[in-house]
Amino acid sequence: MNKKIYFPSFGTKLGFANTAFQYLFTTHISRLFSFDLTLGRLEAGQIPSAAAFPIELFGLENYGEFVQPDCRIDLSTDRLDGFNNDIRNIQAFLADPTLQALEISGYFQYHTALMASSGLRKTFEDIFSAQKRQDRSNKFQTILHDNQQAFTQFFQNKTLIVCHIRLGDYKVYESHNIDFTYTVDISSLVGTIKDFIDFNYIENAEVYIASDAPEECLSIFHENGLNPFTVKSFFPDIDLASGTSLMLDLSAISMANVLFASNSSFSLFGSLLNNEDALFFRPSPEDKKMIGFLPWNTQVLLKKSEIYPSTL
């Protein structure tokens, strides 16, 4: 009888990028070891909203079955050594003949330099990169590829500057001073973008806002002399909570020549998809401003007193 790994919290909390990192980890360990994997737990017979989109995109069939675990471990989130610790825990379970079913939980958002050195980067590119598109059941790669082609055509001969603004982070940070969602003031961010354009003499710049609330952001940009695009520029009636809107914003991030990111999993996930010779900036809680970063050598979330050497 095969050993079982049960991941009931897959896709039950937070957003798509968090679920994507979870999917990356489970796909990778499935390649490394032999076991039966069950993802997710149905609540009142319903698939959680955070999981519905990735289930559709990746054609997941191993979702929702209940498994009775005989042991549980809460695996790492974003520690620099997290991946190796998690693999050791899984190896210990697989080597123990008295254990048959392991329940795991976690977000598996490791330092990206560790992802690159551990084999996770190859798995990432296999399942997410639009250039792969080998698995025709992988709708994510097909949609991303088609969106990227559309952005390439529309912004041809332009310097595409994408700004990801999760307005919820701004409001939460301002209200509760939560460090891991630290961001800079939106007006200051607009000033930073304008200074960047002027300093680098960019005459063909176009700005795109990827956001959960683009209309609220637009007014601030307009007041400060910038007229950016949003998903609503192309599809005025689009549902901002839809998978279509989410994929368009993610695609824009992946095509940016310059990215001003949020301190979020979604921004980092999009930057890892970016194959351009791009520049990347994100808010730093230590520096209180936008700082340069390298997508494949950084933390997923920047936190006070936990800044690894990852900036330009």
Contact 7, 40 (CB under 8 A): yes
Please answer whether residues 10 and 60 qualify as being in contact, where contact means their C-beta atoms are separated by less than 8 angstroms.
Answer: no
Which of 73, 92, 126 is a domain's end point?
Answer: 126
| Same domain, residue pair 165 and 266 | yes
What is the rounded distance in angstroms from the CA atom of residue 288 to the CA atom of residue 242? 33
Q: Is 131 within a domain? A: no
Spatial distance between the Cα atoms of 65 and 56, rounded to a whole number of angstroms: 17
Domain span holding position 223: 139-292
User: Which H or E element spans position 282?
Assistant: strand 279-284
Q: What CATH number did the domain enclosing 184 receive?
A: 3.40.50.11350
Conformational region of residue 44, where left means phi above 0, alpha means psi within -120 to 50, and beta covers everything else: left
- Residue 304: inside a domain: no
198 in the same domain as 107: no
Mutual orientation of helices 139-154 and 120-128 as an angle, nearest 10°? 70
> Is 309 a domain residue?
no
26, 27, 25, 104: which is closest to 69 by C-alpha? 104
The pLDDT profile of the chain, 312 residues, written as one tens digit per residue, is 689 999 998 988 778 898 999 999 999 999 999 999 999 888 777 887 778 888 888 888 888 888 999 999 877 654 556 788 889 899 999 999 999 999 999 888 888 988 888 899 999 999 998 875 555 668 899 999 999 999 999 999 999 999 998 766 555 444 445 555 667 778 888 999 999 999 999 999 999 999 988 888 898 899 888 999 999 999 999 988 888 999 999 999 999 999 999 888 899 999 999 987 899 999 887 777 899 999 999 988 877 655 544 443
- Residue 303 within a domain: no
Strand 101-105, strand 4-7: pairing = parallel
120 and 39 assigned to the same domain? yes
Helices (H) and strands (E) in the chain, counts: 12, 9
Residue 211 is assigned to a structural domain of this protein: yes
Full-model pTM: 0.90
